[in-house]
Amino acid sequence: MARKSLLYTLFTTLTLALSSSIPQTDYDVIVVGGGPSGLSALSSLARVRRRTAMFDSGEYRNAPTREMHDVIGNDGTPPAQFRALARTQISKYDTATIIDNKISSISPLTDPNNTTYFQATTTNGTTYTSRKIILGTGLIDLIPDVPGLREAWGQGIWWCPWCDGWEHRDEPLGILGSLPDVVGSVLETHTLYSDIIAFTNGTATPANQLSLASKYPNWEKQLAAWDVRVDNRSIVAIDRLQNGNDHRDNVTDQQFDVFRVRFEDGDSVVRNTFITNYPTAQRSTLPEELGTAMLEEKVDTTDYSGMRTSVPGVFAIGDCNSDGSTNVPHAMFSGKRAGVFVHVEMSREESNAAISKRDFSRRALERQTERAVGDEMEMLWKRVLEMRK
């Protein structure tokens, strides 16, 4: 009787300890986002056998562009082709799952041991649980409502010289955006262009001139040094006159787009290509809903190591985080880095759980043994007493 109850008690207590130390979840990690950052995190985690689900709503920041550049080994690869190859390569890892669906909410939950885990819900109401969350949800570009602008976005009108500047080198360049950003754009592009006009669309106000002077006190001289003209007339439309998709030189990798900038006064100016300075915003409301600390419009990861956010168990990678870098190599780097830190964080938790489990089972065994031996001794003593009667 005593032996059966000892085994039973040990079994039940140990089972309880085993199951409650680490939350029992569908996946170890949920990655939200299927851009280069999310794919990179998924690859990293799958290669160390972490059960990882990557959710992808199919809204990629670089979707409009013709091809990616300055991505070593993939210079000139269309983004969709890059993602498709990554998916194919990752699909050989049996712990990697890709789900093409949008996550509409993520809630932190706690298990009986007070350990936090997460429940993500897709737009069709299916729920998935995981121990950790990695947000690779990206940014959106807040493009002004000027007719023709959005249609040409990423196709002759671009935001970063490393992405598309080389393909339009030495062509007449326009700078679009607010006056305070003009000098920054010139510093980034003057090695590629010598014919530059900044179209500031009414933003060359005294207040903005002061703002620019606070950063570049001699800004007028700097613009003059590069022969940059500022045209402050209000823009009513940007018309495409020629498409660089059709007019390109595949030997020199040059694209020849042509645009006409139309002004309110009826006049117009022709340019081949434009760099822009428009603000960005988080694509997803998930960081805000999870309560991650923000640095301006970015998820703050600078105060925490390994792409961690202010919310324990939640990591942020790629464009959405505050690293100050928004490009494909950074997205891949940060996804990889988060993958390593998430894995090791979970391994530490598992190590601690294994240690406490061992201590727990040893203590339980000692207690049960003491009790069992005590019972046996008592019975023996009783029997000796009876024999002596």
**Residues at the interface with ligand FAD (CB under 6 A):** 32-38, 55-62, 64-65, 68-71, 102-103, 136-138, 141, 153-154, 158-159, 163, 283-284, 286, 318-320, 326-329, 331
DSSP code of residue 318: G
Nearest approach, Cβ of 272 to ligand FAD (angstroms)?
17
Angle in degrees, CA 98, 43, 347, rounded to 5: 105
Nearest approach, Cβ of 186 to ligand FAD (angstroms)?
20
Nearest approach, Cβ of 216 to ligand FAD (angstroms)?
26
Helix-helix angle 182-189:206-215, to 10 degrees: 50
With respect to ligand FAD, which residue has the nearer C-beta, 175 or 212? Answer: 175
Nearest approach, Cβ of 324 to ligand FAD (angstroms)?
12
DSSP code of residue 374: H
How far apart CA 183 and CA 181 sit, in angstroms, is: 6
With respect to ligand FAD, which residue has the nearer C-beta, 58 or 312? Answer: 58
Helices (H), 129-255: 149-152, 161-164, 182-189, 206-215, 219-225
Q: Do 112 and 20 form a contact (C-beta atoms < 8 A)? A: yes
Structural tokens at position 360 = 């727990």
* Element containing residue 130 per DSSP (H, E): strand 127-135
How far apart CA 128 and CA 345 sit, in angstroms, is: 21
Angle in degrees, CA 293, 296, 302, rounded to 5: 55
With respect to ligand FAD, which residue has the nearer C-beta, 141 or 239? Answer: 141
Nearest approach, Cβ of 136 to ligand FAD (angstroms)?
5
Nearest approach, Cβ of 211 to ligand FAD (angstroms)?
25
With respect to ligand FAD, which residue has the nearer C-beta, 311 or 353? Answer: 311
With respect to ligand FAD, which residue has the nearer C-beta, 104 or 222? Answer: 104
Q: Do 123 and 22 form a contact (C-beta atoms < 8 A)? A: no
Q: Do 343 and 45 form a contact (C-beta atoms < 8 A)? A: yes
Nearest approach, Cβ of 113 to ligand FAD (angstroms)?
29
With respect to ligand FAD, which residue has the nearer C-beta, 157 or 228? Answer: 157
Q: Do 218 and 234 form a contact (C-beta atoms < 8 A)? A: no
With respect to ligand FAD, which residue has the nearer C-beta, 233 or 329? Answer: 329
